[in-house]
Amino acid sequence: MLALLGLALFLVCAVAALISAARAAAMGLPGRPQPWPDHLLRRSAATLGWAAGTVYALGLAGVAWSEAEVGDGADSVPAPACRMGFDPETIEGLTHHRASYLPLRFDCVREDGSVYVSDPDLVWLNWTWAALALTAVLLFLGMHYRTELRARRAAVR
């Protein structure tokens, strides 16, 4: 269920990111709203925010899907994500898994307590959505700082 919710969230965020990107790109066309730098900052922040949501939702769906595969029929324990694509020495002594949704992780645990990551792509997904979200927040704060600075300059005159 959570995997389907993650996929639905991914689709919603992806469509919103595309719409926001088109709105930001429209700022380069004639007839753009004034003051255009404020609109460009707002639209760029929205685009990056939706893009961060898109990347996170993609990873969320992947982790939830791996979690849902556990205990789902024959040969589903330990987690298939921990066994498929790994050599026999790596999966030797595999006992269970640990899933995390913040940060996105799906770790496989052996009998001796050692851990290996089932999907290394989750590392770049975590860094990507965090960088996009941080950039969106910085643009949003910059937009408000710009408004504050403009108000202070008007008060001085």
Q: What is the pLDDT of residues 46-67, one digit of tens each?
A: 999 999 999 999 999 989 888 8
Q: Is the pLDDT of residue 134 over 90?
A: yes
Q: How confident is the model at residue 75 (pLDDT cuts 50, 70, 90)?
A: low
Q: What is the pLDDT of residue 153?
A: 85
Q: Are strands 94-101 and 115-117 parallel, antiparallel or unpaired?
A: unpaired
Q: Three-state DSSP class for 140?
A: helix
Q: What percent of the chain has pLDDT over 70?
A: 98
Neighbours of 11 (CB within 10 A): 12
Confidence of residue 144 (pLDDT cuts 50, 70, 90): confident
Domain edges within the chain = 2-25+34-156
Beta-ladder partners of 115: 109
CA–CA–CA angle 81, 100, 75 (5° rounding): 25
Question: What phi and psi, each to the nearest 5 degrees, are found at residue 72?
Answer: -110, 75
Q: Is the dihedral of CA 92, 104, 10, 40 positive or negative?
A: negative
Number of other residues whose CB lies within 10 A of the CB of residue 96? 14
Report the pLDDT value the prediction gives residue 32, as an integer from 0 to 100: 80
Instruction: Give the predicted TM-score (pTM) of the model.
Output: 0.83
